[in-house]
Amino acid sequence: MPVQQAAVVGAGSWGTALAKLLSDKGYRISLWGHRQEHVDEIIANRENLTYLSGFKLTDNLTATTDLAAAVSGQPVVLMVVPSHGYREVFRRLLPHLSDNTYVISAVKGIENDTLMTMDQVMEDELARISVPPTLHLGVLAGPSFAKEVAAGVPTAVTVAARTREEALFCQQLFNTPLFRVYASTDLIGMELSGALKNPIAIGAGICDGLGYGTNTRAALITRGLAEITRLGVKMGAQPLTFSGLAGMGDLVLTCTGDLSRNRQVGLKLGQGQNIKQIVAEMEMVAEGVKTTKSAWNLARRAGVEMPILEQVYRVIYEDMDCGEAVKTLLARSLKEEIEF
């Protein structure tokens, strides 16, 4: 179906960048934010000064705090709210969605209490309704800092949906000359890739904060990818997904890029700061802090060994010394790199 408009739910940096991408492509975009003063700022300045300053927004983008008005009648709804608030926001907007609406998650996290991905959260909420609307659910993931996407830096990502036809629709929706989109049907692999790379990026930041070199970072990224893949395959994902844009691509970006909030959290932990102080000083959410806890519980439930994740968990939630965490990792019994 031809699309001329869409709603973007979430007016943070990533939501605004995606709203700008689609509005620059010519779509009429309704951008929802939960704070009236923030929305008023966007309307008055045609710019998100709080979370994505320096990028003017086109006139075909409107901002609102009225969630029902934002999503009603929209053929596409893009969800870009933090994972810990995802269920509540989706539950609120669900009664206003029409049949055959595409709801695409661009959120990289796992719900703490249920250990569900965002796609699973949406399915769970749909199952609670006696006569739910027929929705097409999708996921967008890949190496894509919001500021670079807004600036038009060449970027490649992947979108996934349950069927090839749905994935191809999402691919055409987002693709531009500077934002190349690949298609997939591995929803669980995409979501786990996007969520689990954040705790690994905190680990990479810890190593950098401790003053270790690029040898250490390269080893951590590689073994971190092995951990993510183990859990993903155990949960039914396709192994090759983790060597693609949503897996290796986003992991490398988040572990090495200066714009990575999760890496910045790790850097400050490695330099001796307290996690509560770090989080309190951050203007934007670093998903990896909460995801570390849910991912650790998910790995335990699945019976999958994830030693890097475990040490990041201990640093954040058990106040373990960062240097001791590294020593614990290196002191583990020797193993084959690839288990046959």
Residue 93 and residue 62 in contact, taking contact as beta carbons nearer than 8 Å? no
pLDDT single digits (tens) 49-71: 999 999 999 999 999 999 999 99
| Per-residue pLDDT at 2 | 65
Element (H, E) at 290: helix 287-302
Closest CA to 85 of 19, 12, 138: 12
Query: Does 340 have pLDDT greater than 60?
Result: no
Residue position matching structure tokens 């020797």: 334
Domain 195-330 carries which CATH code?
1.10.1040.10
**Mean pLDDT rounded to a whole number for the chain:** 96
- The percent of residues in the chain predicted with pLDDT above 70, rounded, is 99
| Every domain of the chain and the residues it spans | 5-185, 195-330
| Per-residue pLDDT at 282 | 83
Q: What b/e readout covers 315-337, taking b as 16+ CB neighbours within 10 angstroms? A: bbeeeeebeebbeebeeeeeeee
Query: Does 338 have pLDDT greater than 70?
Result: yes
Assign a CATH topology to domain 5-185: Rossmann fold (3.40.50)
Strands 61-64 and 28-32: parallel
Collapse the DSSP code of 53 into the 3-class scheme (helix H, G, I; strand E, B; otherwise coil) and give the result: coil
Phi, psi of 267 (to 5 degrees): -55, -45
Residue 138 and residue 104 in contact, taking contact as beta carbons nearer than 8 Å? yes
Q: Is 293 a catalytic residue?
A: no
Q: What angle do CA 181, 63, 89 make, to 5 degrees?
A: 75
Other C-beta atoms closer than 10 Å to the C-beta of 221 total 22
Catalytic hit among 20, 25, 108, 197:
197
Other C-beta atoms closer than 10 Å to the C-beta of 165 total 11
| Per-residue pLDDT at 1 | 57
Q: How far apart are CA 329 and CA 124, in angstroms?
A: 37
The mean pLDDT of 243-254, rounded to a whole number, is 97
The mean pLDDT of 120-128, rounded to a whole number, is 97
- The percent of residues in the chain predicted with pLDDT above 90, rounded, is 94
Residue 117 and residue 195 in contact, taking contact as beta carbons nearer than 8 Å? yes
Q: What angle do CA 213, 144, 296 make, to 5 degrees?
A: 65
Q: How many residues does the chain have?
A: 340
pLDDT single digits (tens) 152-188: 999 999 999 999 999 999 999 999 999 999 999 999 9
pLDDT single digits (tens) 27-52: 999 999 999 999 999 999 999 999 99
| Per-residue pLDDT at 229 | 97
Tokens of 167: 């994935």
Residue 22 and residue 16 in contact, taking contact as beta carbons nearer than 8 Å? no
Note the Cα 78 to chain centre separation in Å. 13
SS3 content of the chain, % helix, strand, coil (to 5): 55, 15, 35
Which amino acid is residue 306, in one-letter code?
A: M
pLDDT single digits (tens) 259-307: 999 999 999 999 999 999 998 888 777 788 999 999 999 999 999 999 9
Residue 238 and residue 225 in contact, taking contact as beta carbons nearer than 8 Å? no
